[in-house]
């Protein structure tokens, strides 16, 4: 109860400043009432949704939208508050000066319209961006293509194309046609193999059932391979028993089998061409910072040779930093996801790539190279918690392997 009282108090304080800015800029009373109604509806829906029970600790779509609307509205007020608060400090200082220096009566001057206009103008940027992210940004799929060169790539695999997707998070979906567009986009790449690097669901395997047939249409000549992400284990649900949790994981494995995915559980496979081969290695989730550490690199690689060309699928990029790049086996290419690029950031190719998630993960989006090894951190196909994306769009990665060196 205390947390709701604190929330309501903070929300009201911030909303009062937003209301003052609106009232200073326009005298239209209907606009003032509209602001009040919106503020009440957003707060009321948030309190209602988060007072209800839930199947898991990860937000369902209704809770996500309640959170997203609150986030957008609060972003508006968060920009307004410091500007108007700064103006209040100046107004109070002038009033005190007049009282004690000029010997006049203490009087707070009225708010200046242009200050409120500046505040509202700046506040509109995050507000409209977050609304756009929920309306369109989350389904703004893009294909990112990379060409990576390896001197020891088997010649038969020169030009081999890999399509990677990650972090489907089917429990968040709410638009079949948009998701179908994304799935069709994956198939349109006509890559040799499709690799999915974990987080099929948010909480439970049952979230994938309405989407199973659609994602089962993903096809590639050498197959579709997958690994588990941290959300796939059911760790964010308070299960009635360990047996129920185990059954959930078994159901998720069965769903992937029915979709035609070859789920690698600390295992490896060989892809062969013209008498040559590359090794595909898949580990279970391994992540630092409190995440599940079921990934076993040694076990996954026990049937491959030190000199094999190796592609590793590992959901969490912290695994690459902590264990993979210093391993004697030299994993040429690692494919990860997990970070989502935080679903928020600024990316202008060749100019800037920034997201707050960089303070949590050193390798958070795109291609990185260390010690002669590459990792691609996919920005994710779906979304989680905040039901949108701003600046960090849903991604289909297409990686072409080339033999030789990149002399460009």
Mean pLDDT by 10 residues, the chain (408 residues): 87 92 91 95 94 83 94 95 85 68 60 88 96 96 97 97 98 96 98 98 96 97 98 95 96 98 98 96 95 96 95 98 95 98 93 94 96 97 96 98 83
Per-residue 3-state assignment (H helix, E strand, C coil) for 163-206: EEECCCCHHHCCCHHHHHHHHHHHHHCCCCEEEECCCCCCCCHH
Q: Are 289 and 259 in contact (CB under 8 A)?
A: no
Query: Global pTM?
Result: 0.92
List where CATH 3.60.21.10 sits in the chain.
142-403
Residue 359 neighbours by CB under 8 Å, 6+ apart: none
Q: Name the token pair of 35.
A: 């602001």
Residue 400, phi then psi, degrees to nearest 5: -105, 125
265 SS3 class: coil
Q: Please report, for the chain, how many H helices and E strands are present, in that order.
A: 9, 14
Q: In angstroms, rounded to a whole number, what is the distance separating the alpha carbons of residues 69 and 72?
A: 5
User: How high is the pLDDT of residue 407?
Assistant: 62
Of 126, 140, 142, 33, whose CA–CA distance to 81 is shortest?
A: 126
Residue 347, phi then psi, degrees to nearest 5: -135, 120
User: How high is the pLDDT of residue 101?
Assistant: 64
Q: Are 189 and 164 in contact (CB under 8 A)?
A: no
User: How high is the pLDDT of residue 187?
Assistant: 98
Question: Which architecture, in CATH terms, is 142-403?
Answer: 4-Layer Sandwich (3.60)
End-to-end CA distance of the chain: 62
User: How high is the pLDDT of residue 98?
Assistant: 63
Identify the bridge partners of residue 224 per DSSP, sorted by sequence position.
194, 261
Listing DSSP states for 292-322 in one string gives -B---HHHHTTTS-TTSEEEEE-S-THHIII
CA quadruple 38, 56, 335, 374: dihedral sign: positive
Q: Name the token pair of 285.
A: 């989730």
Residue 246 neighbours by CB under 8 Å, 6+ apart: none
Identify the bridge partners of residue 165 per DSSP, sorted by sequence position.
196
Strands 346-348 and 352-354: antiparallel
Which CB contacts under 8 angstroms, 24+ apart, belong to 183-190? 183/214, 183/215, 183/217, 183/218, 185/141, 185/143, 185/396, 186/218, 186/396, 187/217, 187/218, 187/219, 189/143, 189/161, 189/163, 189/396, 189/398, 190/161
User: How high is the pLDDT of residue 112?
Assistant: 83
User: How high is the pLDDT of residue 103?
Assistant: 56
């Amino acid at each position: 109860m205390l947390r709701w009282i604190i929330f309501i108090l903070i929300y009201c304080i911030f909303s009062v400043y937003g209301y003052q800015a609106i009232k200073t800029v326009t005298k239209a009373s209907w606009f003032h009432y509209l602001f009040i109604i919106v503020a009440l509806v957003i707060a009321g829906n948030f309190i209602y949704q988060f007072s209800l029970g839930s199947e898991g600790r990860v937000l369902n779509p209704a809770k996500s939208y309640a959170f997203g609307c609150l986030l957008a509205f609060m972003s508006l007020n968060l920009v307004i508050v410091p500007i108007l608060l700064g103006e209040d400090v100046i107004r109070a200082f002038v009033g005190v000066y007049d009282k004690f220096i000029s010997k006049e009566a203490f009087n707070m001057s009225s708010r200046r319209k242009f200050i409120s206009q500046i505040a509202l103008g700046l506040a509109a940027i995050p507000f409209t961006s977050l609304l756009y992210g929920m309306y369109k940004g989350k389904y703004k799929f893009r294909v990112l293509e990379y060409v990576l060169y390896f001197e020891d790539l088997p010649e038969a695999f020169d030009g081999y194309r890999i399509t990677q997707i990650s972090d489907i998070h089917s429990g968040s979906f709410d638009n079949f046609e948009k998701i179908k567009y994304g799935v069709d986009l994956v198939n349109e790449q006509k890559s040799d193999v499709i690799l999915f690097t974990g987080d099929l669901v948010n909480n439970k395997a049952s979230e994938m059932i309405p989407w199973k047939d659609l994602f089962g249409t993903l096809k590639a000549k050498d197959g579709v391979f997958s690994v588990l992400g941290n959300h796939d284990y059911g760790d964010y649900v308070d299960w009635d028993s360990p047996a129920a949790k185990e059954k959930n994981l078994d159901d998720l494995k069965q769903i992937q089998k029915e979709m035609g995915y070859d789920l690698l559980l600390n295992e490896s496979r060989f892809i062969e061409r013209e008498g040559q081969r590359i090794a595909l290695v898949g580990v279970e989730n391994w992540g630092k910072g409190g995440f599940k550490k079921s990934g076993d690199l040694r076990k996954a690689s026990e049937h491959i040779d030190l000199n094999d060309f190796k592609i590793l699928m590992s959901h969490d990029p912290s695994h690459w930093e902590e264990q993979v790049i210093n391993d004697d086996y030299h994993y040429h290419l690692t494919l990860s996801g997990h970070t989502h690029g935080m679903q928020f950031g600024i990316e202008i190719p060749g100019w800037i790539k920034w997201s707050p998630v960089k303070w949590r993960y050193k390798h958070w989006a795109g291609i990185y190279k260390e010690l002669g090894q590459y990792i691609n951190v996919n920005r994710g196909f779906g979304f989680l918690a905040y039901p949108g994306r701003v600046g960090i769009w849903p991604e289909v990665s297409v990686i072409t392997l080339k033999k030789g060196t990149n002399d460009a």
